[in-house]
Each structure stands twice: as structure tokens, then as C-alpha cells.
Structure 1
Amino acid sequence: MSNTLLTKNKAIFVFLVFALGYFISTLIRASTATLSPVFSQELGLKAADLGLLAGGYFLGFAAMQLPNGYFLDKYGPKKIILFFLIIAFLSTIAFSNSENFFSLLISRILIGVGVSVCLMAPLTGYRKWLPFDKQQRANAWMLMAGALGMLASTVPIQLLLPEIGWRNIFLLLSGLIFITIILIVLIIPSWDKTDTQIKDDGFSSYKVIWKHPYFLSLVPLGFFNYGGLQAIQTLWAGPWMTNVSGFTATQAALNLFWLNLSMLVTFFIWGFINPYFYKKGISTDKIIIYGVPFSFLALGFIIYSGENVSGFHFALFLISSVFVSLAQPAVGMIFSNTIAGKALSSYNLILFLGTFSVQWAIGIFIDLFKSFGYTTLIAYQLALSIFTICCILSYLYFFFHHKDHLQQKKN
């Protein structure tokens, strides 16, 4: 493996290019939280419709995860991310020209397909290009780049909106995608032929992953806790502040800016802390077990605060959820390099199916409770309460089953 390690300077440039791609993908992902009032007014969308439109990105994203894992292991990050970013480039242009809900939804699904490897491609590459003790830091800082994209989706988008409109905003994003494609061609190294010739069992190797007890122990946590975190961050934090707390669109965008800034800073600090945990021998499982319950307290605080909820409340939830982000790289590290891409993509499938499902389900529950005669406040509180219960049950499943693979080895 040592002959594939990048020099420090080369690694920095590779990281920055990949970070730009992931920055753009999360900017597009989270833009619906800021643009939701515009889409609701222009298209007359209900909460469930808005949840479906926002979730379309995650549906397209999730649909490609298993094939992407196979392609990444076989052909390497460079070829695969170039192919899919071309799809993202064309789909973003199509989204900017859409005239109805159906065309917006199809375009957004295809955008999700196009950016579906913007995180998995670098994580797969880092397994072979970076020393083991630097991989967790690189992973955390990739998430920081993603948080920066979400940050850019708030106040900057809100300021551009009245000046150029949402359609031209997406045309600008397509331009950024094109620039990223050029940089990838010029800077990202090609996959070493010896890496792609390592024998594996193709798609059948997914059986090893999906039957692994440790992977299975993390599935509910990824679906509800991690997926729900993204569902709230990229959509429902915004509507809660506008529809329940009574914020204007500008006020909500400013609060979204601060909560995403808090997430960016958290991931930045997390990148420095992770190597310390590794050196001290503190396991990922232990960090998850002791850390994740803080997110339940934050969710309870949001539900209790009701009409007084602001970006501060959601920021507490995002910060306290940082522990669950360790689950993703933990999955990649428990499997060999030959199937690392498949393992990461398999877990990513869980995350984004969870995000799509939770994002849409929260909207459905809000509309359902409102149809029963409940106020908007109560409808939002009940919907988030159901989500919280699912998160607690998922955590308990991991708590009791995360050591099953160790018991299996003993037997």
C-alpha cells in the first residue's frame, strides 16, 4: 500500500478538488431549506409535496449507491466521479429551466444521481492514498467542506435570490460543476492498474457486507439518526422557523446560516480530535454510545420550545449529532480495501434512503395531523416526536448488537 500514498502537497491538492465537488453537492442538497418559501408560493406545494421535492435528490442519490460501490472499486474515483458530474451538470441546467413540479422533481432526482459519488469517491481514494491515521481527519474535513456548502445555501442564496432569481442561481451552480470537472481531469490521480486488478467477486461481494453483524448493527442508526439529521438540516429546520416560529424568509436564512456555520466549525474541530481518540485507543463504538444520546436531548428541547425555536435550537441538534458521523468511516475500515468502496456505498444507501424517507414522512405527518384539526405547531411537534422515538429505538439496537461480530468470531 505504501507505493500508492500521495506526497503531502499532492494530497492537499487532491483533497481541495474533492472538497470543492462535495461542497457543491451539499449546497444543492440544502438549497431547498432556503428556497422552500419560493417553491411553495410558485407551485402551491403542501408540506408532503415539498418533502418529496427535497427528498428527490436523496432518492436519486440512494439509487446509485450499490452500483457506485462496484464501479469505484473496479475503475477508481477519477473515472467514476467525472462520469457522474457530467450528469449533474446537465441535470442542474434542466432544473433551472423546469416549469412545473414534475420536471423539477425529475431534474432533482437526476442531480442526486449526478452527485452521488462526491463523497464516496474521495473516501474510497483516501483508503489507498492516505496513511491510516490521516483518513479519519480527511473524512471529517470532507464533512466540513459539506457543511460549508450548506452554509453557502443559506444567506448567500437568500441574497442572490431577489437579484437573479432561483433559476439563474442553479445556472451558476452548473458552472461550478463544470469547473470541478476540469480540475478533476487535471489534478486527481488515476487508479493504479494493480489496484483495479485485485480479484473480487463483483456484486456478489455485497453479500459479505450486508450479512456482516457490525454493518447490520449500524443500519437503523444510519437510516433514522444520520438520515434524519440530514433531513432536518437540509429541509425541515427552515419550514419550522417560517411556519411555526413566524420568521421571515430572510430571518430563517440567517438562522440557517448560523446553524450550518456551527456544523462547519464542529467538523473542523472534530478533524483534530479524531486522531487523539485513535492514539488513546478510544473506540468508535464507545464514542457513538456515549455521544449520540445528546442528540435526543436536543430534539426534546426543540419539541418543547415550539414557537420559540430558532437556529440556535437546531444548531444544538446538529452539533450533538456529530458523533453519529463516525459510523460511516467505521464501516469502511472494518472491510478490506478491495471492497471498501462497496461497503461505504452500501452504508451511504442506508443514509440517503433514510434521509429521503424521513424528509418525506415528516411532511406527510405534518399534513396528516393538520387534517385532523391540530394547529401547525402541534403538527410539527408530533411529527418530530415520532422521528425522535425512531432515533432512540435505533440507538438501542446498536447498543445491544454492535458487538455481535466479536461474538461470531469467538464461535
Structure 2
Amino acid sequence: MAQAHRGQAMLIWLVALSVYFVAVLHRSSLAVAGLLAAERFEITASQLSTFVVLQLLIYALMQVPVGLMVDRFGPRRVLLAGTLILTSAQLSFAFADTYAWALSSRFFVGVGDAMTFVCVLRLVNSWFPARRIPLMTQLTGVLGQLGAVAAAVPMTWALSSWGWTHAYLATSLCGAVLLVATLVVVRDSVESRSTSGPLLGMSGIKDSLAASWEHPGTRLGFWMHFSTQFSATVLGLLWGYPFFVQGEGLSPEAAGLLLTIMVLSIMAFGPAFAWLITRWPWHRSTLVLLVIASIATMWAVVLAWPGTAPFWLLVVLVVVCGMGGPASMVGFDLGRTSNPVFRVSTATGIINQGGFLASLTTVALIGILLDWRTPDDAAGYPAAAFTWAMSAQFLLWGLGATQIWRYRRKGRNRLLRDDPDLWSRQSGRPIPGGW
């Protein structure tokens, strides 16, 4: 890649990354406002969960259509549309004063959010050489999570200093600025500002989806994303702040610090995981399984701790949970290496559904269990209720780890069948007799 094109690629990536950053900020902005939202709209824990469940459900359901749209219309057009929807929805949420109004606003936050990440990954695949794609993919994921940092500490300050409406107005203004920057800077390719793929009818769409899902590498990526992302997402989007404040007795400032540490952990592990999967691609699933085991173990220790857990242990918990973010990005690398270029975005959309389906399931379960275990006359959620609620995560880890174990065997067998030489190079084993 020529020097001029390398500079252009970095500029385009930085603008697209900034859009993703703001999308994560919008997505996570309710995390530190959960208790305030419950008071503002006079709602229960289950109703509060509905905000995030609806947002994540829409996000997850949109992933496959967005992947198809990116393959058809190019990432620039889809990114522009997503930024416009996201900004408008956050602006509406700033003025919401009823539960129904706020719920409809979060619906469109989910729609706009869903149209950002797949576009950024497609731009990475289009503008960077293959050897740099794993690193740039990880950097996209981890740097985008700085939006959650902005939602943790600055958003807490803005809500307390400016109030609900002005705090959310400020976040919507960021989206408006980036809408202009995307329009001016982002290009789909060196040759064209906007590119278009082939027009697919219903049969073509079905064939593309079927071909992507049929490959065990795509399914393996889906279950990797499913199993690793949801714990940190649930903490960062909604239940981390109430858990630390009411379940563990911490101050709001300490809870915000823990959420910030978790995001910094996500950022710290990203480059390391990128190096590992580039160096040892055969062991990508092993890395993910180790991360799942580590997260589940830390949650077991915290929930089994007599009384409230010490602060240092909660720090370890959020650091380990932060590993799940970069581990979930490994799933996209499986999708990239398992599918041809013309359907990479479709496969990415399928894989990206996994973590968010797991997240919305967990958010809903936690809300239901909290309502079940909290007495009607209680002023807040008791610690015992959080122990029950947070234990729901173990069901999803068990399911995900089982599926990863299944599909990594199928994926390796498929690679042996399709490309035995690559199978031999990655596994370090001789090709079996007969091949």
C-alpha cells in the first residue's frame, strides 16, 4: 500500500472509529443513569431492564440485515444512515419524560448502533493489508470501548451537574459533528467514494446467509462472541453500577471507577490477543475457552464471598471480565478467515448477533430475578438478590463453552478437507495419510 493510501486509510479508520466510539457512548449512557431512570420514569427493575433488552434485541436482530446492506450498498452509506438515526434517537431520549417515549427512543438507539460496527470492520478489511487486519480489528473493538469510559465517569458528572436533558443533549451533539466528518472523509475504496455490491433477490439473500451459516467457522465465531462478551456488556450497560452500589455497598464514585477499570482492561488485552491469534491461529478457540473459564471462576469467587467482597477482589473481577471484550473479537477473525470477501460482512453480522443475544438474555434474567428476590417494601435491591441474579450468567457460559468445543472440532475437520496444506501449517501436524 502506497504511503499516501496508508495515511488515507488511517484517517478513514479514525473517523469511522470515532463514530463507533460515540455509538458505544450512546449505548452505554444508561449504565450510570439506571437508578436515575428508575426514579424519573417510576419503573421497576424489570421495566428498567427492558430499556437495555429492547436496545440489544434490536441491535442483534439488525446485524444480519446490516451485513447484507453493507455487502450491497457499501459501508459509507450504511454508516451515514446509522449515525443519523443514532443521533436523532439520543436527542429524543434527552427530552423523554414518559416510559413509552423513552422506550421508543432506545429502540432507535439500538437501530443506529447496529449500523456502525460492521461498517467499521468492512472498512478495515478494505483499506488495510491482511497481516494487519487482526490488530486493526482488535484496536477498533478496544478503542471503541472508550465510549463506555465516557459513559461511566464524564456521564456521571454530566448527569449530576447538568441534569438529564442537558447531559443527553451533549452526547447527541457529538453524533451530529461526526455525521459531517463521515460525509466528508470516509470512502469505501481508493477508486470510489461509495461502492455497491450485486443486487440480491430473496433467493440470493437466502443463499448468502445459508452459505455463511453453513460454514462451521462462522458458527464457531458466533459462539465465541456469545460466550465472552455478555458479562462485561451487562456490567457496562446496566447492572454493574447497581450491583456495585447496592449489592456490594460501594460509593457511586467507586462503582464508576470499577467500570472504568473494566474498559481499560478491555483495551489492554486487545493488542495482546491480536498478537496471540496472529502467531497461533490454530489455538484461537483454546484462548477463548480459557477466558470463559477465568471469567466464570472470578464471578464464582465474588458471589460466594461471605458478606460484601473486598474492593481489590472487585478490581480483579472487572479486569478479568474485561478480557471478554477482546476474546469476543476473535470470533470475527474466524468469520473473516472462513468466508470469501464478498460475504464477510454477512458473516460478521451473524457472529455479532451472538454476544448481544447473550447480553439481552442475561439483562432480562437479572431483572426478573432481582424483582423475584427483592421484597416489596425494600428500599433497594438486597445483596442476596444480586447473588441470585448474577448467577444466571453461568447458564450461558456452560452453553457457549459446549458449543465452542463442538464447532472447533467441526471447523478443524472442514479446514482439513478444504485446505490440508493450511491445516498442516496452522496445526503443526503432518497431513493424515490419504490426503
Q: Could you tell me the TM-score, scaled by structure 1's length?
A: 0.90
Confirm whether residue 264 of structure 1 aligns to residue 267 of structure 2: yes
Q: 1:91 aligns with which of 86, 89, 92?
A: 89
- Which one of 232, 245, 250 corresponds to residue 242 of structure 1? 245
Match for residue 166 of structure 1 among 149, 164, 167: 164
Ranked by relative contact order (alpha carbons within 8 Å, sequence separation 6 or more), the top structure is: 1
Q: Distance in 2 between matches of 1:235 and 1:342?
A: 29
The residue identity in structure 2 corresponding to 1:185 is L
Contact 2:228–2:288 (CA under 8 A) maintained in structure 1 = no
Per-residue Cα deviation, 1:236-271 (whole angstroms, up to 9, x for no partner):
21111111112233332233223323323333x43x
Q: Deviations over 1:307-338 (max 9, x none)?
A: 22655144233234243331133223311110
The aligned counterpart of 1:358 is 362
Instruction: Give per-residue Cα distances to partners, 1:43-84, cap 9 Å, x unaligned.
Output: 233221221112232122123211111110111110111012
Whole-Å separation in 1 of the counterparts to 2:4 and 2:363? 39
For residues 361-407 of structure 1, give each alpha carbon's deviation from its aligned partner in whole angstroms, at most 9, with x where no partner exists: 11112212336999822221122223123203321221133121343
Give the conservation status (yes or no) of the 8 Å contact 2:222–2:331. Answer: no
Q: Which residue matches 1:292? A: 292
Q: Which runs of structure 2 are paired with 1:143-158 in the superposition (5 Å)?
A: 143-158=141-156
Write the letter of the residue equivalent to 1:137: L
Match of 2:110 in 1: 112
Cα distance, 1:29 vs. partner? Answer: 1.5
Q: Name the counterpart of 2:183.
A: 185
1:344 aligned partner, one-letter code = T
Question: Larger Rg: 1 or 2?
Answer: 2
Range with bigger deviation, 74-83 or 41-50: 41-50
Change (3 A) 1:144 1:400: same
Q: Which residue of 2 aligns with 1:39?
A: 37
Aligned partners of 1:195, 1:177: CA distance in 2, in Å? 24
Which residue in the other structure is 1:316 paired with?
Answer: 319
Q: What are the equivalent positions in structure 2 for 1:312-391 lying under 5 Å apart?
A: 312-321=315-324, 322-370=326-374, 376-391=382-397
Compare 34-43 and 223-232 and name the one that shifted more. 223-232
Show CA shifts across 1:150-199 (max 9, x none): 11111111112222112111111111111111111111113557963468
Counterpart check, 1:223 vs 2:226? yes
**Residues 6-21 of structure 1 aligned to structure 2 (within 5 Å):** 7-21=5-19
The percentage of aligned residue pairs carrying the same residue is 17
Question: Number of paired residues?
Answer: 406
Distance in 2 separating the partners of 1:137 and 1:309: 35
| Offset at residue 221 of structure 1 (A) | 4.1
Q: 1:250 to 1:43 in 2, by over 3 A?
A: farther
2:431 alignment counterpart: none
The unaligned stretches of length 5 or more in structure 1 are none
CA separation of 1:203 and 1:79: change in aligned 2, threshold 3 A: farther
Query: CA separation in 1, counterparts of 2:139 and 2:13?
Result: 9
Q: Equivalent of 2:402, from 371, 396, 402?
A: 396
Aligned partners of 1:15, 1:369: CA distance in 2, in Å?
46
Please tell me the root mean square deviation across aligned C-alpha atoms, in Å.
Answer: 2.7
CA distance in 2, matches of 1:114, 1:74: 18
Give the whole-Å Cα distance in 2 for the aligned partners of 1:340 and 1:400. 23
Q: Cα deviations across residues 6-28 of structure 1 (Å, max 9, x unaligned)?
A: 82211211121111111111112
CA distance in structure 1 between the aligned counterparts of 2:42 and 2:250, rounded to whole angstroms: 19
SS in 2 for 1:42: helix
Q: For residues 194-244 of structure 1, give each alpha carbon's deviation from its aligned partner in whole angstroms, at most 9, with x where no partner exists.
A: 963468733431011222223334444433432343122322211111111
Structure 1 position 99, deviation (Å) = 0.9
Instruction: Answer yes or no: is the 8 Å Cα contact 1:242–1:248 preserved in 2.
Output: yes
Compared with structure 1, are the counterparts of its residues 319 and 406 closer, same or farther at alpha carbon in structure 2 (3 Å cutoff)?
Answer: same
Question: How far apart in 1 are the matches of 2:333 and 2:130?
Answer: 11
Q: What corresponds to 2:424 in structure 1?
A: none
CA 1:283–1:131: 2 relative to 1, 3 Å = farther
Would the aligned equivalents of 1:62 and 1:349 in 2 still touch at CA under 8 Å? yes
Which range is displaced more, 327-336 or 73-82? 327-336
Assess if the C-alpha contact under 8 Å between 2:222 and 2:353 holds in 1: no
CA shift for structure 1 position 127: 1.5
Counterpart Cα distance in 1 of 2:317 and 2:42: 26
Corresponding residue of 1:254: 257
Q: 1:275 to 1:320 in 2, by over 3 A?
A: closer
Stretches of structure 2 lacking an aligned partner (at least 5 in a row): 419-435
Q: Compare 387-396 and 368-377 and name the one that shifted more.
A: 368-377
